């Protein structure tokens, strides 16, 4: 399906003009384009009325506290138009009797519902959704990436955490990049191209969950994703925007451009267009037939390794063969009588969410107006205390000793709470901040009638990741190595075989041993603060789950209070008078996007999807 061909033709002419004048940077300045051997810069994508010249591609090295009352789903409200985007603030929630799902795309949520209708459990549905999102939302997650899953089994009440985070190659080190005096990496090689790619963990993680805890066979669970890749999926406004934003990286690699740029015009797809990925469909068929072996020791691994090495990366077949997932206990804490389970290391998310909640427990949050300066100030201070500890201590526990028990201590939280001045913004420093992480991740949550709960957060890291699709596979490869620090003294410095620190925080909340909430979000460090705020708003303020997801959101990690611009001007002035540096550039944050499910005390299942992206909840 084609749209806007007239605009695309005009864009082609403009592109030629821009190239003739040597323009090729997001800022539109006249600096020279990167040399052919450089990694492509992540330039902005062309809109219909303008175009960004393709960036140069790296030359291949070879050829070429009360129970919340049950509330019916909100009625659909008019769309709110923000910065050219459409934010639909109603009609995203759902009610279910047998199961409920909240996911980043409706097509994936529907696949999960269909799996449960066929007799599958929440784990079967989670695996089917995971593979489907790797087709229709591949810019955010997919089998070229990794993630975390937390599962609660209704029959036994056991909760397990599955770590399928990507892992650096054995040969990985700081020496693979040139570190510039300002601490950045030359040509962004830790973000764009083959030198940013780690061993993907998603295939092993999803198939382990299916084979260990699911009830359906691999072929049945993967077939919907295969059909989606073959038949295509409709491009949303968000997907079109993401393609445009990553146009420089996409256009730099022919294998990526062949999928995500209109072949007739070599331009980004527009909303309503259909994207098909035949190579990915064939790859998924191989995995459905042969299992993880073909991905980690067979022809798929070989194609990934060949592509990565062609563009200068260091992954090997042995790296793939050596990859293992980790199945452990999640971190566990409590908040005002509710049990909270969340992601264990190498995700810092679960530990810091619990630290923030532990600090909040020392204050009467329920008595505060959730859109008041008093509330935002307290949340800001609790967040900054948590992030100071994250910066100082967090890393891969196989390489670094992390004082998790101490950070989760209620007594420690009381001491932290005493550091908060109710009238003035504080500065809490402990070590150096971690490097920036990508916001382009996905999350989905599921609760079924048997009490099974699943929360999954997974990613390829940046939007469109490394920009590199492994040739002949349709797989977009992660840029997970960007999540490592380039500071040799950091606990999160890159090392061979190491998993980088993450903020991904799939989380479960139980009350008296029974399911209450399953939630999580994409959005870098904002995942941590978004999940903590949602839990607090439900428990402290008695909000129903969609109301809590839609509520005004804020974030503070290292001293700038970032606040959605939906609060009264007097609140902003009061926060500034307290000493907060305030940033209110967005009416709605782009991230984090919380996808959550809830079971009421009556047993009704509620789903809530975040209006900040393409999320949708479905139930049956």
Whether 21 maps to a domain, the answer reads yes
**Residues 171, 174, 175, 181, Cα dihedral to 10°:** 170
Cβ atoms 473, 520 nearer than 8 A: no
Mean pLDDT (whole number) for 540-546: 96
Tokens matching residue 24: 């090729």
Model pLDDT, residue 31: 30
Are 499 and 472 within one domain? Answer: yes
Are 87 and 44 within one domain? Answer: no
Which three-class secondary structure state does DSSP give residue 618? strand
Q: Which residue has the higher pLDDT, 118 or 67?
A: 118
Model pLDDT, residue 14: 41
Whether 379 maps to a domain, the answer reads no
Considering the chain, what is the average pLDDT of its residues? 85
The total number of structural domains in the chain stands at 2
Whether 293 maps to a domain, the answer reads yes
Share of the chain above pLDDT 90, in %: 69
Which three-class secondary structure state does DSSP give residue 230? helix
Are 126 and 53 within one domain? Answer: no
Q: How far apart are CA 100 and CA 451, in angstroms?
A: 11
Model pLDDT, residue 557: 87
Mean pLDDT (whole number) for 532-536: 97
276 has pLDDT over 90: yes
Model pLDDT, residue 429: 56
User: Where do we find the tokens 């919380």?
Assistant: 594
Are 130 and 256 within one domain? Answer: no
Least confident of 232-241, 270-279, 437-446, 485-494: 437-446
**Residues 113, 118, 120, 126, Cα dihedral to 10°:** -30
Whether 499 maps to a domain, the answer reads yes
Are 12 and 85 within one domain? Answer: no
Are 454 and 309 within one domain? Answer: yes
Which three-class secondary structure state does DSSP give residue 289? helix
**Residues sharing a CB contact under 8 Å with residue 237, sequence separation 6 or more, in sequence order:** 85, 86, 271
Whether 382 maps to a domain, the answer reads no
195 has pLDDT over 60: yes
Model pLDDT, residue 399: 83
206 has pLDDT over 80: yes
Residues catalogued as catalytic:
441
Domain that holds residue 138: 79-175+183-232+276-327+435-619
Cβ atoms 305, 316 nearer than 8 A: yes
CATH of the domain at 474: 3.60.20.40
Categorize the per-residue pLDDT at 398 as very low, low, confident or very high, splitting at 50, 70 and 90.
confident
Q: How far apart are CA 117 and CA 99, in angstroms?
A: 9
Categorize the per-residue pLDDT at 86 as very low, low, confident or very high, splitting at 50, 70 and 90.
low
Q: How far apart are CA 488 and CA 84, in angstroms?
A: 42
Share of the chain above pLDDT 70, in %: 84
Whole-model pTM: value is 0.85
Least confident of 43-52, 152-161, 171-180: 43-52
Are 50 and 147 within one domain? Answer: no
Whether 70 maps to a domain, the answer reads no
Whether 420 maps to a domain, the answer reads no
Least confident of 354-358, 413-417, 424-428, 611-615: 424-428
Q: Which residue has the higher pLDDT, 5 or 213?
A: 213
Cβ atoms 188, 39 nearer than 8 A: yes
Q: Which residue has the higher pLDDT, 70 or 493?
A: 493
User: How many other C-beta atoms lie within 10 A of the C-beta of residue 405?
Assistant: 10
36 has pLDDT over 80: no
Q: How far apart, in Å, are the Cα atoms of 410 and each of 355, 417, 540?
A: 8, 10, 18
Are 525 and 493 within one domain? Answer: yes
Q: How far apart are CA 380 and CA 377, in angstroms?
A: 5
Short-list 397, 442, 447, 510, CA closest to 163: 397
Q: How far apart, in Å, are the Cα atoms of 362 and each of 374, 420, 580?
A: 15, 11, 22
Tokens matching residue 376: 């935002």
Are 245 and 205 within one domain? Answer: no
Q: What are 256-266's pLDDT values in tens digits? A: 999 999 988 88
Model pLDDT, residue 436: 31
544 has pLDDT over 80: yes
Categorize the per-residue pLDDT at 392 as very low, low, confident or very high, splitting at 50, 70 and 90.
confident
309 has pLDDT over 60: yes
Are 10 and 40 within one domain? Answer: yes
Rg (CA), the chain: 23
Whether 346 maps to a domain, the answer reads no
- CA 381: distance to chain centroid? 25
Are 50 and 156 within one domain? Answer: no
Are 190 and 246 within one domain? Answer: no
């Amino acid at each position: 399906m084609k749209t806007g061909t007239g605009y695309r033709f005009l864009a082609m002419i403009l592109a030629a003009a821009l190239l003739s004048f040597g323009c090729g940077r997001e800022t539109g300045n006249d600096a020279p384009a990167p040399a052919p051997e450089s990694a492509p810069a992540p330039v902005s994508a062309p809109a219909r009325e303008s175009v960004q010249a393709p960036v140069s591609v790296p030359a291949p090295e070879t050829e070429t506290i009360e129970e919340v009352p049950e509330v019916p789903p909100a009625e659909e409200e008019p769309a709110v138009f923000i910065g050219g985007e459409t934010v639909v603030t109603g009609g995203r929630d759902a009610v279910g009797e047998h199961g409920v799902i909240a996911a980043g795309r409706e097509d994936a949520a529907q696949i999960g519902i269909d799996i449960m209708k066929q007799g599958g459990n929440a784990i079967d549905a989670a695996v089917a959704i995971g593979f489907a999102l790797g087709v229709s939302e591949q810019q955010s997650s997919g089998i070229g990436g990794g993630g975390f899953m937390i599962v609660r089994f209704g029959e036994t009440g056991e909760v397990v955490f599955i770590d399928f985070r990507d892992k650096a190659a054995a040969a990985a080190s700081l020496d693979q990049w040139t570190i510039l005096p300002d601490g950045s990496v030359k040509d962004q090689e830790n973000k764009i191209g083959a030198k940013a790619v780690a061993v993907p963990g998603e295939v092993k993680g999803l198939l382990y969950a299916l084979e260990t805890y699911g009830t359906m066979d691999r072929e049945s669970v993967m077939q919907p994703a295969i059909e989606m890749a073959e038949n295509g999926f409709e491009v949303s406004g968000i997907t079109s925007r993401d393609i445009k934003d990553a146009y420089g990286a996409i256009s730099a690699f022919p294998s990526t451009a062949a999928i995500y740029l209109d072949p007739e015009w070599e331009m980004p797809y527009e909303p309503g267009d259909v994207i098909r990925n035949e190579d990915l469909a064939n790859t998924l068929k191989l995995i459905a037939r042969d299992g993880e072996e073909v991905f980690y020791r067979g022809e798929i691994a070989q194609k990934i390794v060949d592509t990565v090495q062609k563009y200068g990366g260091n992954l090997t077949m042995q790296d793939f063969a050596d990859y293992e997932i980790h199945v452990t206990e999640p971190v566990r804490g409590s908040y005002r009588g509710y049990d909270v389970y969340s992601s264990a290391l190498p995700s810092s998310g679960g530990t810091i969410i619990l630290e923030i909640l532990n600090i909040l427990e020392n204050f009467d949050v329920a008595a505060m107006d959730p859109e008041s300066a008093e509330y935002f100030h307290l949340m800001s201070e609790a967040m900054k205390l948590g992030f100071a500890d994250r910066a100082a201590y967090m890393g891969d526990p196989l390489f670094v000793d992390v004082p998790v028990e101490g950070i989760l201590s209620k007594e420690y939280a009381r001491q932290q709470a005493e550091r908060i001045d109710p009238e003035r913004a504080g500065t809490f420093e402990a070590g150096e901040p971690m490097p920036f992480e990508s916001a382009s991740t996905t999350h989905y949550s599921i609760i079924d009638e048997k009490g099974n709960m699943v929360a999954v957060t997974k990613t390829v890291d940046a939007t469109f990741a490394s920009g590199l699709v492994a040739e002949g596979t349709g797989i977009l490869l992660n840029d997970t190595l960007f999540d490592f620090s380039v500071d040799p003294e950091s606990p999160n410095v890159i090392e061979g075989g190491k998993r980088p620190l993450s903020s991904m925080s799939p989380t479960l909340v139980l009350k008296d041993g029974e399911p209450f909430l399953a939630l999580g979000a994409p959005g870098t460090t904002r995942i941590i603060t978004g999940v903590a705020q949602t839990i607090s708003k439900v428990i402290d303020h008695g909000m129903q789950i969609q109301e809590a997801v839609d509520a005004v959101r804020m974030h503070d990690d290292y001293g700038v209070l970032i606040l959605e611009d939906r609060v009264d001007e007097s609140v902003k002035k009061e926060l500034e008078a307290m000493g907060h540096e305030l940033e209110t550039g967005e009416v709605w944050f782009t991230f984090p996007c919380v996808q959550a499910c809830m079971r009421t005390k009556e047993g009704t299942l509620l789903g809530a999807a975040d209006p900040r992206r393409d999320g949708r909840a479905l139930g049956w």
